Amino acid sequence: MNELLIDRRDDGVVVLTLNRPDRRNAMTDGMTEQWRQAITDLRRDRDVRCVVVTGAGSAFCAGGDLSWLAERGVESVPDLRDRMLGFYRTWLAIADLEVPTIAAVNGAAVGAGLCFALSCDLVYAADEARLAVPFTSLGLHPGMAATYLLPRVAGVGVAREMLLTGRTMRGAEAASAGLVTRAFPRESLMAEVLETASGIAANAPIATRLTKVALAGGGHADLDAALRWESLAQPVTMTSADMLEGLAAQRERRAPRFGNS
């Protein structure tokens, strides 16, 4: 079974769909391996301008498939540590792509599934999507960088409530709390996401990639660090063909036609 669907659109947008609706798109070993290969391929593809990830069926992602824990004998902590670290890094590799990424949370995003979504640059959720990180209710410490991603995205207060109580947020509330970027009715979510992705894909690729780097980790440490970065990154774009095309398009009152450099 193809557990990850890849749709390469003509405008440079690539849509990745987690495709195990029968398991609410839980991160199985098969899906994890297909995800690893897909991200490796996207990293080398200079035609990609924006990546969207969503889930097939009614859920976004139910998180890690932990059925193997019950099926196997007791493993040592070092062995489990190596397994989990590899799993985390495989899924969170989407954050290392040079192009902008968008999570379209069409339904439930639970545990590692929610953390995975939060590792994207933008997170758009269906109004009624259920978002939760119920690790402790399963007897587990949080994983998939939950103790980093939730405080960074929504603040320590929201992170504490969600991680300590396991409370579920709906998409609309999550948008108000700053946990996701915006929320939309489920029936219009993908149309809104693809419109945004197409707009990003139409922008200058060099400037877009450098801007993503500048915003990584929540932005620069202080004003001077920002000025030092921008005084180098902006001249890089000033010498690019993209800038000449952008200025020409503005002068001629037409849409710019940027290359893939």
Dump pLDDT digits (tens) for 161-202: 999 999 999 999 999 999 999 999 999 999 999 999 999 999
What is the CATH architecture assignment of 4-200? Alpha-Beta Complex (3.90)
**pLDDT computed for residue 22 by the predictor:** 97
- Positions of CATH 3.90.226.10 in the chain: 4-200
**pLDDT computed for residue 248 by the predictor:** 93
Q: State the Cα–Cα distance between residues 116 and 206, nearest whole angstrom.
A: 26
What would the pLDDT profile of 110-151 be if each residue is shown by its tens digit? 999 999 999 999 999 999 999 999 999 989 999 999 999 999
With pLDDT > 90 as the criterion, what percentage of the chain qualifies? 90
**pLDDT computed for residue 184 by the predictor:** 98
Cα–Cα distances (Å) from 145 to 56, 108, 141, 150, in that order, read: 24, 19, 11, 8
pTM for this prediction: 0.94
Cα–Cα distances (Å) from 111 to 15, 18, 84, 95, 136, in that order, read: 22, 15, 14, 17, 10
H helix count then E strand count, the chain: 11, 10
Q: State the Cα–Cα distance between residues 55 and 76, nearest whole angstrom.
A: 33
Q: Which residues contact 68 (CB under 8 A, 6 or more apart)?
A: 29
The answer to whether residues 96 and 46 touch, using CB atoms and an 8 Å cutoff, is no
What would the pLDDT profile of 4-61 be if each residue is shown by its tens digit? 999 999 999 999 999 999 999 999 999 999 999 999 999 999 999 999 999 999 999 9
pLDDT confidence band for 73 (50 / 70 / 90): low
Q: Rounded to a whole number, what is the distance in angstroms from the first to the last CA of the chain?
A: 35
CA geometry: angle 39, 44, 48, nearest 5 deg = 80
**pLDDT computed for residue 118 by the predictor:** 98
- H or E stretch including 37? helix 29-44
